[in-house]
Structure 1
Amino acid sequence: MNDIRRSIAPPAGAPSGAPSGAMEDLERPQPAGGGPAAWGSDPIAETLRALELPYIALVPGSSFRGLHDSLVNHLGNRAPQMVLCLHEEHAVAIADGYARVTGRPMAVALHANVGLMHAVMPIYNAWCDRVPMVVLGANGPLDAHKRRPWIDWVHTCRDQAAMVRHCLKWDDQPASVEAAVEAVLRAHQITTTAPHGPTYVCLDVSVQEAPLDGPIRVPPVARFAAAPPPEAPAAVVAAVASALRGARRPVLLFGRGSRDPDDWNRRIALAEATGAAVLTSMHNPAVFPTDHRQHRLPPCGERRSDAERELIAAADLIVSFDWLDLAGYLRSCTGQAQTCAPIGVPVVHCSLDSLLANGWSMDHQALPAVDVPVLAHPDRFTAQLLDALHGHHPDTAWDFAAPHWTAHLPAQPQGDPADRIALGDFAMAVRRFGMERPVTFVRLPLGWPRAASHFTHPLAYLGKDGGAAVGVGPGHAVGAALALRGSGRIAAAVLGDGDLLMGINALWTASHLHLPLLIVVANNTSYFNDELHQETVALARERPVENRWIGQRLADPEVDIAAMARAQGFEAIGPVRRAADLAAALDVAAERVAAGGRVLIDARIEPGYAHAFGQPAP
């Protein structure tokens, strides 16, 4: 470990160690005299404060310069406080990461049409993540006679939200201050109503910058709150509870769920009250303890294991709690053709996701064949079933005395192959790091061995990116670190090198805000997933598989990730090429992050996926 301590490199232009100041002390404006709202953007800013939106992520732009002034000189850059970013993609991804932790929205400001174009991909990703956020766009003057030559014309467009409307819950382009206040209230109400998704309000620059003719007061925002999440009808609850009482091999598929500890505990209680086998998914945040004896298999990933197929085949009742792609999952477990043919056991599916389905995006996945559809919030349905099963003593046929799947994890390291860390050793080092500390894994890379997962807290893991995007991981990490600030948990993101490099300058915002954060790069110096795609095509066409690497490898030269991290204000360790050095680096990084610092570890791993790692017996 001493070698690792000596090798850690401080950020460029700054000493290593604790941060130099608190986030609350950043960018404090000179007093502006206070006073009532006087300009069009002042009541809009007041509305953001009244809604208790704590932060607004942005890259500055002239189209919302009026709002920017109101946030600084009318509100004092507090509540909301600006989260300054280097790219609009990062602004949206940070709000996404924040919502993944808290379940609550941040605000985002995007500059005109060009800023929105930068942000289209992460908005779509946030839509697929089903997270809340209030996005404020802006236009040049809609009155053509008020436009400055050239610049206001190229930054003005009709129906700006049309670029992203298919991945928004709602949008508006208000033409007055009063309408803008109402639009922001409605945007917040809709985004915080389950199922969640981004909303968008486009502000006219002229409305923002016009003096007010008279006072405009923000109404009491409590009267515009979201409705409570819907529950299932009593008859449906009774029917499903009865089916669970009579089932011998019930399976609970816990998919999307909240980070609320009470909801977490109710899921555990429901599993124990029913005697069901439980499965969770790597796609979603942690919703159930992976070390629980009823969590029979590792979290489900992209490919089905034989053990998964056997467990589903043995089930006599399946209850899905907003399981992502239920139809696709069950078909891949049973070998069914891609049809709507139902699986041969009763299926209950609780989800509100159908309310967001539209004809543009296919993120709604395949159509599941279910016997009992439940249009309710899955966490509320869990609570209802738990109440209905009160006093029930389960007697199921599952053998929970059999060794848990974690008993199959390797006891000895695989060893370092060819100046790289073996995937299994990399995963086990990260797993141990998370077991020994209160760590929130913001992300885990695509090739992560599922059996290395250890999630025993609702904030242990925040899931994959819903839109399978590349480049949002760093922004998610910063947003999660912002949400976890002061919680005592270590925000840690394990990112692939391609994902990191596409968005690495998002890390500057973490340094600017003095946010503790650990980034571990699973660096195979390749867009490796696409190497496998090229191998598939080559095999099908009987062409040389050996050429799969061309146009994929991030080499000649290799990217100096550590230097790029230092340029963003991070300390950097690496490249680390041995498993023992990785374990030591993680220990050092934990100390630095616990003290308020930011560290990136460049870990060079072998290319490949460890599909058979820790494979349990059926």
Structure 2
Amino acid sequence: MTAKNSADVSEAAADLVALLADEGVSHFFLNPGTDSAPLQEALAAARTAGTPAPQAVLCVHESVALAAAIGHHMIGGRPQAVMVHVDAGTLNLGCQIHNAQRNRTPVVVFAGRAPYTSVPQIRGHRDSHIHWQQEQLDQQAVMRAYGKWHMEVPRGRELAPIVRRAFQVAQSSPPGPAYVMLPREALMEPGSRPLPRRLTPAVPPGPDPGALERLAAILVAATKVVIVTARAGADPASASVLARIAELLGAPVVDQGDRRNLPSGHPLHSVGDPAPLESADTVLLVDSEVPWVPTQIAPPKDARVVQIDVDPIKPAMPLWCYPVEIALTADSRAALPLLEQALLRQATAELRQRWSGRRHAAEAEIAQRRHQAHRKAESSRSADAPDAMLAALNRALPEDAVVIEEAVTSRPAVSRQVSRAPGRFFDTGAPALGWALGGAFGAKLARPEAPVVAICGDGSFNFSVPTAALWSAHRYAAAFVTVVLNNHSYWASKQPVIDLYPDGASVQANDFAETQLTPDIDYVALAAACGGIGQVVHSPQDMEDAVQWALAEAGQGRCAVLDVHLPQP
């Protein structure tokens, strides 16, 4: 025991706390259990001693913890860490494991593991009947399809190099989740001091020079280029470069809405509207997971398709079969400036004149569709439709507000009506619902000076474990506004029934019992129960004032929930 307290030796749990701080983790999202006791003690010791440590953020549901980590990374760009309780806590991460995978979130998920020994002389031994029930044949299997890497810490002295490796893998391109299992005995064993140096993540890939020139030549030879992107604007600086490329080529940018990928109000910005694809002869894909849905809209069959993506083949999507002619494995932050230079080298005066004409035509088409979207908002005021509500929301938002969006079937209306600059709009980026409130909580922790507004459907609001998310937000002074677009149904699950069985029993009898969210939940009372406040919004005329009121309440430290009633579809 004497060696454990010497200057050179500490418990492995203390090493973990020091390693998290050294890796740049500012907030450690956790849900504790019997297995995390050594870590809780190490965090308390670090607070007492004033030694470097991340802020521990208690989340009363694991889904909120990982959702918050995803949102925190989107805003701050820092590596993330989450701690959950053995197999049960890992299972409770649920859909957020999927979201972390698809959003390429560099997060290390730590999970306890049932102690191995029942020998009382071994510190951390089994001392409860649950230690037998919590042990699984393959606890890591839960993460196997979604994570990049997994490992168990066998001994305290091995913890530090394993954690260093986990953060290196999680942050290297393409980034994603790593999973580390922590037996309690290992956490209580002596660690390794001095700690090993940080393992530097791999430098993000740059494009092959020859392939980049060939890709640029295809764009130069095209008659009509359309750019499709979902996340190029994850780094706002890339949005500016992409805008210059679009302007040079006269190419509309189909923004799929995971982020805002062009400067706000840019005349070539086609947000959520893939119509330009139908007449393209060349399509440039940049950081796009699903460029188009072939049964709904697609470029002509003879169109040439080229791609820039850090993960162009997408092996985690078994049937990703888009006809890409040149796929550049490259981080778009590095590739887009090089592509701009390659295009400028090939841009003759004649080409520039031709591209200028294409640009004016594309801008006119996009302006016409924008006008139609604004008219849609105006004409639907009396019907309380999403467009009108969201147009009023947009008018009330200050420029520095960050929008977290999980609106599901109202997502097209959000794209049409909510205008944000790059770096101030973040969609869930994956179809696993229940991210919005935890994501907003994490975003607020990462950018406390900015107002944060979550826009979600009533279904995704409930999936978000709202009591847990709002509770944590109040505990850590990270209040945000939630706008619940409440159509009293799972419309995303009702619509396929109508599409697949237009003459079926459901339609004939108007019987959609499985998708009706009735009786109504009192979301205002729910907010109040968690320390917040709320109000019901019935009309677009009331929406703007309601948003301003909610923002003021959040500014005073209370989460505000707006229950925005829409017609039931």
Task: Give the TM-score, by structure 1 length.
Answer: 0.82
Deviations 1:547-586 (A, max 9, x none): 3331322223x2111111111121212x221222121111
Tell me the distance in 1 between the aligned counterparts of 2:363 and 2:327: 33
Deviations 1:388-427 (A, max 9, x none): 233646322521452613222117353334xxx2222112
For the residue of structure 2 that corresponds to 1:485, the secondary structure is: coil
Q: Do the aligned partners of 1:572 and 1:599 also contact (CA within 8 Å) in 2?
A: yes
Q: 1:314 matched to which residue of 2?
A: 279
- Call closer, same or farther: CA 1:148–1:354 in 2, change over 3 Å: farther
Tell me the distance in 1 between the aligned counterparts of 2:363 and 2:565: 39
The worse-fitting range, judged by mean Cα deviation, of 101-110 and 536-545 is 536-545
- Call closer, same or farther: CA 1:443–1:365 in 2, change over 3 Å: farther
2:480 to 514, 517, 531: 517
Q: Does 1:561 align with 2:538?
A: no
Q: Percent identity?
A: 23
Tell me the distance in 2 between the aligned counterparts of 1:369 and 1:477: 37
User: CA offset at residue 313 of structure 1?
Assistant: 3.5
- Call closer, same or farther: CA 1:233–1:211 in 2, change over 3 Å: closer
After superposition, where does 1:63-78 map in structure 2 within 5 Å? 63-76=35-48
One-letter code aligned to 2:307: H
After superposition, where does 1:246-325 map in structure 2 within 5 Å? 246-282=221-257, 284-289=258-263, 291-295=265-269, 297-300=270-273, 308=275, 311-325=276-290
- Call closer, same or farther: CA 1:294–1:98 in 2, change over 3 Å: same
After superposition, where does 1:29-68 map in structure 2 within 5 Å? 38-68=10-40
- Call closer, same or farther: CA 1:504–1:511 in 2, change over 3 Å: same
The worse-fitting range, judged by mean Cα deviation, of 382-391 and 65-74 is 382-391
Q: 2:71 matched to which residue of 1?
A: 97
User: CA offset at residue 538 of structure 1?
Assistant: 4.4
Q: Do the aligned partners of 1:109 and 1:135 also contact (CA within 8 Å) in 2?
A: yes
Tell me the distance in 1 between the aligned counterparts of 2:260 and 2:246: 15
Q: Do the aligned partners of 1:63 and 1:205 also contact (CA within 8 Å) in 2?
A: yes
User: CA offset at residue 445 of structure 1?
Assistant: 0.8
Q: Do the aligned partners of 2:282 and 2:303 also contact (CA within 8 Å) in 1?
A: yes
Q: 1:28 matched to which residue of 2?
A: none
Q: 2:122 matched to which residue of 1?
A: none
After superposition, where does 1:138-217 map in structure 2 within 5 Å? 138-143=112-117, 145=119, 146-211=125-190, 216-217=193-194
Q: Do the aligned partners of 1:535 and 1:545 also contact (CA within 8 Å) in 2?
A: no
User: CA offset at residue 454 of structure 1?
Assistant: 4.1
User: CA offset at residue 355 of structure 1?
Assistant: 6.5
User: CA offset at residue 493 of structure 1?
Assistant: 0.6
For the residue of structure 1 that corresponds to 2:512, the secondary structure is: coil
Q: 1:508 matched to which residue of 2?
A: 471
Q: Does 1:437 align with 2:399?
A: yes
Deviations 1:416-440 (A, max 9, x none): 34xxx22221121122234x43222
1:351 to 278, 284, 309: 309
User: CA offset at residue 543 of structure 1?
Assistant: 5.2
Q: Do the aligned partners of 2:497 and 2:506 also contact (CA within 8 Å) in 1?
A: no
Tell me the distance in 2 between the aligned counterparts of 1:189 and 1:211: 23
For the residue of structure 2 that corresponds to 1:601, the secondary structure is: strand
User: CA offset at residue 120 of structure 1?
Assistant: 3.3
User: CA offset at residue 183 of structure 1?
Assistant: 1.3
- Call closer, same or farther: CA 1:36–1:525 in 2, change over 3 Å: farther
User: CA offset at residue 453 of structure 1?
Assistant: 3.7
1:387 to 341, 352, 355: 341
- Call closer, same or farther: CA 1:255–1:470 in 2, change over 3 Å: closer
Tell me the distance in 2 between the aligned counterparts of 1:165 and 1:144: 29
Deviations 1:572-616 (A, max 9, x none): 12x2212221211112122233444421111111134xxxxxxxx
Q: Do the aligned partners of 1:37 and 1:43 also contact (CA within 8 Å) in 2?
A: no
The worse-fitting range, judged by mean Cα deviation, of 253-262 and 584-593 is 253-262
User: CA offset at residue 124 of structure 1?
Assistant: 1.8
Q: 1:551 matched to which residue of 2?
A: 514
1:367 to 315, 321, 334: 321
Tell me the distance in 1 between the aligned counterparts of 2:506 and 2:472: 46
Q: 1:29 matched to which residue of 2?
A: none
- Call closer, same or farther: CA 1:375–1:386 in 2, change over 3 Å: same
- Call closer, same or farther: CA 1:481–1:545 in 2, change over 3 Å: farther
Tell me the distance in 1 between the aligned counterparts of 2:566 and 2:417: 18
For the residue of structure 2 that corresponds to 1:319, the secondary structure is: strand
- Call closer, same or farther: CA 1:34–1:531 in 2, change over 3 Å: farther
Tell me the distance in 1 between the aligned counterparts of 2:528 and 2:8: 44
Q: 1:593 matched to which residue of 2?
A: 554
Deviations 1:74-129 (A, max 9, x none): 35586311111111111111111112222322210011111111113211221122
Q: Does 1:115 align with 2:94?
A: no
The worse-fitting range, judged by mean Cα deviation, of 109-118 and 93-102 is 93-102
User: CA offset at residue 544 of structure 1?
Assistant: 4.3
Q: Does 1:414 align with 2:380?
A: yes
How many residues of Structure 1 are paired with residues of Structure 2 in the alignment?
A: 542
The worse-fitting range, judged by mean Cα deviation, of 63-72 and 527-536 is 527-536
Q: Do the aligned partners of 2:99 and 2:428 also contact (CA within 8 Å) in 1?
A: no
Tell me the distance in 2 between the aligned counterparts of 1:566 and 1:521: 15
Measured on the aligned residues, the alpha-carbon RMSD in Å equals 2.5
1:127 to 101, 106, 121: 101
One-letter code aligned to 1:576: V
Q: 2:455 matched to which residue of 1?
A: 494
Q: Do the aligned partners of 1:34 and 1:74 also contact (CA within 8 Å) in 2?
A: no
Deviations 1:195-237 (A, max 9, x none): 121111001110112345xx5221232xx11122101111111
One-letter code aligned to 1:82: A
For the residue of structure 2 that corresponds to 1:333, the secondary structure is: coil
Tell me the distance in 1 between the aligned counterparts of 2:201 and 2:531: 39
Tell me the distance in 2 between the aligned counterparts of 1:580 and 1:49: 48
Tell me the distance in 1 between the aligned counterparts of 2:156 and 2:162: 10
For the residue of structure 2 that corresponds to 1:429, the secondary structure is: helix
Tell me the distance in 2 between the aligned counterparts of 1:357 and 1:69: 41
Flag as ranges the 4+ runs of structure 1 deviating above 4 A.
33-37, 75-78
For the residue of structure 2 that corresponds to 1:459, the secondary structure is: coil
One-letter code aligned to 1:151: I
User: CA offset at residue 134 of structure 1?
Assistant: 1.1
User: CA offset at residue 540 of structure 1?
Assistant: 4.9
- Call closer, same or farther: CA 1:457–1:451 in 2, change over 3 Å: closer
User: CA offset at residue 37 of structure 1?
Assistant: 5.2
Q: 1:576 matched to which residue of 2?
A: 537
The worse-fitting range, judged by mean Cα deviation, of 578-587 and 401-410 is 401-410
Q: Does 1:82 align with 2:56?
A: yes
User: CA offset at residue 50 of structure 1?
Assistant: 1.0
Q: 1:17 matched to which residue of 2?
A: none
- Call closer, same or farther: CA 1:540–1:195 in 2, change over 3 Å: farther
Tell me the distance in 2 between the aligned counterparts of 1:117 and 1:254: 32
Tell me the distance in 2 between the aligned counterparts of 1:430 and 1:228: 41
Structure 2 residues without counterparts, runs of 5 or longer: 120-124
- Call closer, same or farther: CA 1:355–1:228 in 2, change over 3 Å: farther
The worse-fitting range, judged by mean Cα deviation, of 452-461 and 40-49 is 452-461
Q: 1:136 matched to which residue of 2?
A: 110
Q: Do the aligned partners of 1:288 and 1:458 also contact (CA within 8 Å) in 2?
A: yes
User: CA offset at residue 167 of structure 1?
Assistant: 0.5
For the residue of structure 2 that corresponds to 1:178, the secondary structure is: helix
1:233 to 182, 186, 208: 208
User: CA offset at residue 384 of structure 1?
Assistant: 1.2
Structure 1 residues without counterparts, runs of 5 or longer: 1-32, 337-342, 609-618
Tell me the distance in 2 between the aligned counterparts of 1:364 and 1:457: 34
Q: 1:452 matched to which residue of 2?
A: 416
One-letter code aligned to 2:496: H
